Amino acid sequence: MAPVLIWIPLVGLLTGLGSIEAQQTTLHPLVGRVFVHTLNHETFQHLPEHVAVPPTVPITYHAHLQGHPDLPRWLRYTQRSPHHPGFLYGTPTPEDRGRQVIEVIAYNRDSFNITQQRLVLLTGNPEGPLLPYQAEFLVCSHDVEEVLPSAPASRFLTALRGLWEPGELQLLNITSALDRGGRVPLPIEGRKEGVYIKVGSASPFSTCLKMVASPDSHARCAQGQPPLLSCYDTLAPHFRVDWCNVSLVDKSVPEPADELPTPGDGILEHDPFFCPPTEAAARDFLTDALVTLLVPLLLALLLALLLAYIMCCRREGRLKRDLATSDIQMVHHCTIHGNTQELRHMAASRQVPRPLSTLPMFNVRTGERLPPQVDGAQVPLILDQH
């Protein structure tokens, strides 16, 4: 049934989009900041205000960049099930600045209705100070759909302020652990896929965070021991963080530039052991081609002549065979051959009566034969003589 369910909305889409006026919404993502847009079922229902939307209506979404079959490289889409809302999320880069139009098509799996919506993304630069101090945490107690709404994200930032120097924290990126090579957990209650949350701030890291990301802490994690955490975990118990997977990035210190190779003239130094060849003289390859072709042909011709001589010129013949045979053997052979020919002529004439032993039934004493109209198959082979 799955192919039928997919084919029906495509047919409705091709036949019904001409009469649907797509809604248009303008959004303003910021470069280097996480962008989250929720696709609620109420937005795509077109119901009056006094009519409540049934919570059990299954709706699936398909989002793509206008004129392209897929989303931009920085934007992702996720939806847990048709009964849950969908999310468009991601972090644009400086190369993604400008205007992008995302077309979202909602499909009602009960009524087979199609609704279209256009999202105009005007990506610009963020305002305020730079965020050179960035930290990424692996939250094992949540899925990505549970962190994308604004309320859980705000609670995470509020709890994280207890581990950071005083200052404003900003969400920079949210990524599912499955996109980082994680595995789907076992179907056990409380098991989550996990989500990576990247946070940035203009304030430097606290001593507690530096100790968690220190080499000594990573060495303890490699040995299966708990990491070094000198402060109280303010994220617990609402957010269970894997402190062995905390990474800190300090962009306030400029990275050393890679040394560029010094351009030269492209000539190698003189090496007495290396003698490069001079210019090759012009050569005539006609002789080589003739030798390559004619030598195999001549050998094949010689072999053919030798085979023909052996097959045709080396035969003994009948006369030579008869001369090499003894006279007694030749007379014996001729006698057999003549007797055979005589028997064949006698059999062809049919003038000699058939032997009694060849008749179907005969009397041994009198030699009486059965009349020809009697079926020999129905007469016994031995007749009683009384």
In this prediction, residue 337 carries a pLDDT of 85
Determine the Cα–Cα distance for residues 300 and 294; give it in Å rounded to an integer.
10
Residue 353 CB partners (closer than 8 Å, separation 6+):
none
Q: Which residue has the tokens 């894997």?
A: 242
In this prediction, residue 148 carries a pLDDT of 92
Give the 3-state secondary structure of residue 105. Answer: strand
Determine the Cα–Cα distance for residues 312 and 306; give it in Å rounded to an integer.
10
pTM above 0.75, yes or no: no
In this prediction, residue 1 carries a pLDDT of 38
Half-sphere exposure of 341 toward its Cβ, with a 13 Å CA cutoff? 6
In this prediction, residue 71 carries a pLDDT of 94
Determine the Cα–Cα distance for residues 130 and 372; give it in Å rounded to an integer.
129
In this prediction, residue 28 carries a pLDDT of 93
Average pLDDT across each block of 10 residues of the chain; the chain has 386 residues. List them in order.
Answer: 38 41 84 93 66 73 93 93 92 93 91 90 90 92 91 91 87 92 84 92 90 90 87 87 90 71 69 75 87 94 92 75 81 86 78 58 59 50 48
Which domains, ranges and CATH numbers included, belong to the chain? 9-125 (2.60.40.10), 128-253 (3.30.70)
In this prediction, residue 120 carries a pLDDT of 94
Q: How far lies 47's CA from each of 81, 112, 123, 346, in Å? A: 22, 16, 31, 116
Beta strands in 140-179 (DSSP E): 169-176
In this prediction, residue 127 carries a pLDDT of 87
